[in-house]
Amino acid sequence: MIWNQIVWWGVPALALWLAGALAARRWTKLALALSLAGWLCLGAFTALLWRDLGRPPVRTLGETRLLYAFFLSGLGIWTAWRGGRAWLLALSNILASVFLALLMARPGMQAGPLMPALQSGWFVPHVAAYIFAYAVLGVGTLMALRQLAASRGAPGADSGLLPAIDGTVRLGFAFLVLGMLTGAVWAKEAWGHYWSWDPKETWAFVTACAYLVYFHARARHARSRAILWLLPAAFVLLLVAWLGVSFIPAAQQSVHVYS
């Protein structure tokens, strides 16, 4: 099984991403090349895993970490290439490396056929939309933290960063809502109801509301950088919804607990 070889693919990807992060300060093109090589390495592993499992790797917590690291690194490469912000490439590489290291420490793979409820055509779009949203919103959070640091006197102030942050968060929120909608349709198809206030659903709703508060605050106080603190707070809620709910005792009977 290719999953047992994750270290052989993950360690080179980690090394390339971290080398790219170090190179980003002076050699942007080299940093992009190294980061892209790491991304392709992980992408090749993901494709081989998909082939071995006979399904997209979206079933377990470990598989979602794999997708998250893949999406996050790709977004860092794309934004650095399009926007010229090498620091964002470095930060994205570092965050993706953290999730890849966690994946290698605790792979959490589960082979075999999917249970009947997971064989719905809505399953893969639902999970993929959520993980992509988490990656986009992770990038938005990194941008917000950079802007907050610059506003406190640290070097690197970027006058065009606030509009970029808003656009990034809007894109992430759109995919977050898409994940909720596809999940609701899937739930109706599989269990007969769109929404049941399952713990995972509740935290997803809380997370979406946190980003709505950010949009509302930005609309009313467009020039206030202090509002950017809402993004790290919302991202913490997002991590609870994604990773933390599985460890809550009341959620152990949830249909959303990764297994």
Once rounded to an integer, what is the mean pLDDT over residues 161-189?
A: 90
28-42, 117-131, 231-245: range with lowest mean pLDDT: 117-131
Q: How far apart are CA 213 and CA 227, in angstroms?
A: 10
**What residue type is assigned to position 100 of the chain?**
L
111-115, 213-217, 221-225: the lowest-pLDDT one: 111-115
For residue 256, pLDDT beyond 60: no
Average confidence score pLDDT of the chain: 84
State residue 90's pLDDT score: 93
- Stronger pLDDT, 199 or 111, i.e. the higher one: 199
Q: d(Cα 121, Cα 142) in Å, to the nearest integer?
A: 33
**CA 198, CA 202: separation in Å to the nearest integer?**
6
182 by Cβ neighbours in 10 Å (0-12 / 13-18 / 19+) ranks as buried
Phi, psi (deg, nearest 5) at residue 54: 75, 20
Whether 254 shows a pLDDT value over 60: the answer reads no
Higher-pLDDT residue of 208, 219 = 208
pLDDT in tens, 81-140: 887 788 899 999 999 999 999 988 887 665 666 665 666 777 888 899 999 999 999 999
pLDDT, residue 161, reads 84
Q: Which residue has the tokens 């693919």?
A: 9
pLDDT higher than threshold 90 for residue 149: no
pLDDT band at 162 (very low <50, low <70, confident <90, very high): confident
Main-chain dihedrals φ then ψ at residue 49, nearest 5 degrees: -65, -40
Confidence of residue 4 (pLDDT cuts 50, 70, 90): confident
Query: pLDDT confidence of 208, banded at 50, 70, 90?
Result: very high
Q: Is 7 exposed, middle or buried (0-12, 13-18, 19+ CB in 10 A)?
A: exposed
Q: Report percent pLDDT > 70 for the chain.
A: 85
Residue whose C-alpha is closest to residue 198's, from 231, 232, 246:
246
Q: What is the mean pLDDT of residues 157-177?
A: 87
State mean pLDDT over 152-176: 80
Please state, in angstroms and rounded to a whole number, the distance separating the CA atoms of residues 70 and 63: 11
pTM over 0.75: yes
* Burial of 121: CB neighbours in 10 Å, binned 0-12, 13-18, 19+: exposed
Residue 253 has pLDDT above 60, yes or no: no
